[in-house]
Amino acid sequence: EAAEKGGYEHFMLKEIYEQPKAVRDTISPRLNKDNTAIVLNELKWTKQYVEAFNKVYIIACGTAYHAGLVGKYYIEKLARIPVEIDIASEFRYRDPIIDDHTLTIVISQSGETSDTLAALKESKRLGAKTLAVTNVVGSSIAREADQVMYTWAGPEIAVASTKAYTTQLVTMFILAMYMSSLKGTISPERTHELLTELRHLPDQVGRTLEDVEPIKAFAKNYAYNNDVFYIGRSLDYYVALEGALKLKEISYIHAEAYAAGELKHGTLALIESGVPVIALATQKSVYEKTLSNIKEVKARDAVIIGIAAADDNELEKYVDHVIKVPTTDELLIPLLTVVPLQLLAYYAAITRGCDVDKPRNLAKSVTVE
């Protein structure tokens, strides 16, 4: 087993560090040389085929569901098709409205999660076209779906998903860009701009792993708190959900992610002196709004760790510490902001002496209901 860990203490840490390669392997076969077009040989859709969809469903569990939330944002923003997203165990029992103009996308690292597989079968029965986004070639979900896009993350062993998540995000981005180019919903200039950022993304993921000492120090400081809150708006909120899940899964610290604007409707009551709040602020359209939410928690004496892009010189004025990630297009920044959150969870769990790769009560793949 030590050999399989390739010198890392845990599979989870190894898999965090494999993300630049995993993301590169997922992007490279699908991006043309001059960064002007997505080439999806596995789908070969036509304009007519995409235009026939009047609704997309995204269905998944756990971390894959969090990737789905980002996927919904991408498809709506870029391809302008309404997307509904649901947790597989909810979807399969709620009599969903589906017909042959629906595209159902299921996301699953293992391709074996029983609720996701059942939701896929139910979608097919109701007439939807189906697409699986999965990491395991020949898995049950890959075989059941009409079409498959593989995430090329390589085997993921740690129960807490890391590189599968980042490759799922990038796959959903590629899919949304592909749909938008067929539909003509974004200009060739914007396409080129986004695809150039996509080309640089693997190196930027690598840069987020260069200086982890401050993250280790924060994790040590906060490892014995009972609660940690994660806040953000828009895409930052979806990354916050994933960051909180990571912390719960492996360190057993109670963590809650909140849409920053929703705090005042309840959760603000839990913010008291010294409570750690991780605040993501990378989305320009809601930046000012997020700042005012940050000020609200600061006024209650929370200890705030801000997560920002490298070119942000504002956030540090309002928070206790800042972790910066490389600057990229704000659509792609979730692939960078999630990395320090994975590391925070990892080092908090280590500090508490938890079994990082095999957390209590959890399984890598849930194949029974």
Q: Which residues bind ligand G6P (CB under 6 A)?
A: 61-64, 108-110, 113, 116, 159, 161, 362, 364-366
**What are the distances in angstroms from CA 53 to CA 39, 76, 106, 256?**
20, 13, 16, 35
**What radius of gyration do the chain's Cα atoms show?**
20
Identify whether the C-beta of residue 240 lies closer than 8 Å to the C-beta of residue 267. no
User: Closer to ligand G6P at the Cβ: 64 or 307?
Assistant: 64
User: What is d(CA 276, CA 119) in angstroms, rounded to the nearest whole number?
Assistant: 37
Q: Is 364 labeled as catalytic in the residue annotation?
A: yes
Q: Which helix (H) or strand (E) holds 147?
A: strand 147-150
3-state secondary structure of 48: helix
User: Closer to ligand G6P at the Cβ: 213 or 369?
Assistant: 369
Structure tokens of 364?
Answer: 């890598």
DSSP 288-340: HHHHHHHHHHHHTT-EEEEEEETT--SGGGTSSEEEEE----TTTTHHHHHHH
3-state secondary structure of 194: helix
DSSP class of residue 38? B
**Residue nearest to ligand G6P according to CB distances in the complex:** 62
User: Closer to ligand G6P at the Cβ: 298 or 364?
Assistant: 364
User: What is d(CA 281, CA 314) in angstroms, rounded to the nearest whole number?
Assistant: 10
Give the shortest CB-362-to-ligand G6P separation in angstroms: 5
Give the shortest CB-338-to-ligand G6P separation in angstroms: 13
What is the four-CA torsion angle of 140, 239, 330, 19, rounded to 10 degrees?
-60
Compute φ and ψ for 31, nearest 5 degrees: -120, 130
Question: How would you classify residue 321: left for phi > 0, otherwise alpha for psi between -120 and 50, otherwise beta?
Answer: beta
Tokens 């998540």 locate to: 165
User: What is d(CA 154, CA 71) in angstroms, rounded to the nearest whole number?
Assistant: 21
Share in percent of the chain as helix, strand, coil (round to 5) = 50, 15, 35
Residues marked active site are found at 364
